[in-house]
Amino acid sequence: MEAFDNTLLSNYIQTVQQRTQALYENTRGSKQSSMLAEDCLEELFSALEELSIAEEELRQQNEMLIAAQSEIEAERQRYQELFEFAPDAYLITDLYGIIREANRVALQQFNIAHRHLIQKPLISFIPEHQRQAFRSILNQLPTIYRVQEWEVMVCGRKREPFIAAITVEAVLDQQGKATALRWLIRDITNRKRTEAQLQDTQLQNLELIEIDRLKDQFMATISHELRTPMNAILGFSRLIGDRVALLGDGRLNQMVDHVVRNSHHLLAMIEELLDFSKLKSRKLELRPAGFDLV
């Protein structure tokens, strides 16, 4: 849109005014012949005044139009800067995926010059094994209007393929008909790698938790299995100690006492293992009892 140049109209109005004034001066000498001319000239002056008012209004509208053009240009420049320096790749294509516009990040991702990217089909950067699915979604976009976080493998020129999260939206005209497509392409390779590492870590944690559970279960089972024979060993050791005491053999009595002490020690360790297993499984029961603190 261009502002209307009213300079020619203003000059034309001034010229008509000058000629009208000259004609009026020339016809003032003859009273009889100039009455009709004076009436015509008066009407002409009125028309010129109205035309001057219209010219002034036109000038004001022209100034408003220039101001509106400046605002539109500033808004267009702001949009262009947002488009060009966005942190993600932005593309505008037609409904068939032919690239019309591309920002700086898109050129970096595809590793291609701007003049070579424009008019190129976007599907040419998609691996062959994914092109059928890509084409299927592309054909549906004029009716479904939007697809968000669509994960696709993208292959740039002479660089490693990367995983992209694509959000694409149809541009609609005043009748609601799709006329173009806007694409946001985000490289999520690092995010996917981090997610995979996090998943591996979570799996390892689950394995460690299961190993720890099996260890506790094993310790509890072994402790129960050991406590029964240890009680038997301790009981029989005491019986043997009573018999040996009657014989009066000091050396043999010392050996039996050694067996009894070690049996008590092993039994105490087994009891501690059982208490620890119960504590970890939150099954330890406290038995409060009174005692003389002094």
Helix (H, G, I), strand (E, B) or coil at 29: coil
82 pLDDT tier (thresholds 50, 70, 90): low
DSSP assignment letter at 120 = -
The band of 83, judged by pLDDT with boundaries at 50, 70 and 90, is low
Residue 102: which of 92, 112, 87, 111 has the closest Cα? 92
For each of the domains in the chain, give its residue range(s) and CATH number, in order of start.
Answer: 7-83 (no CATH), 86-187 (3.30.450.20), 193-280 (1.10.287)
Encoded tokens for 146: 């939007």
Q: Between residues 57 and 194, which one has the greater pLDDT?
A: 194
d(CA 44, CA 284): 114
- Dihedral sign for Cα 122, 127, 129, 130, please: negative
At 2 the pLDDT is 45
Using CA atoms, how far apart are residues 187 and 88, in angstroms rounded to an integer? 8
Residues with Cβ within 8 Å of 134's Cβ and at least 6 positions away in sequence, in order, are 123, 126, 152
pLDDT score, position 24: 61
Q: Is the pLDDT of residue 231 over 70?
A: yes
The string of pLDDT tens digits covering residues 215-224 is 777 777 776 7
Confidence of residue 1 (pLDDT cuts 50, 70, 90): very low
What residue ranges in 74-143 does DSSP mark as E strands?
89-93, 99-102
The rounded distance, in Å, linking the Cα atoms of 16 and 48 is 8
Strand-pairing partners, residue 165, are 151, 186
Please check whether residue 171 is in contact with residue 179, taking contact to mean a CB–CB distance below 8 angstroms: yes
What number is the average pLDDT over the span 82-97? 83
Q: Any bridge partners for residue 153, and if so which?
A: 163
Length of the chain as a residue count? 294
Q: What is the pLDDT of residue 168?
A: 94
Range list of H helices, the chain: 7-26, 31-84, 104-110, 114-117, 128-144, 189-247, 250-280
Confidence (pTM)? 0.53
Strand partners, 168: 147, 183
Which amino acid type is present at position 211?
I
pLDDT digits (tens, 9 = 90+) for 112-141: 998 999 999 999 999 999 999 999 999 999
Distance separating alpha carbons of residues 42 and 26, to the nearest angstrom: 14
Mean pLDDT taken over the chain: 80
Burial (CB < 10 A; 0-12, 13-18, 19+), residue 99, is buried
Which pLDDT score is estimated for 3?
A: 45
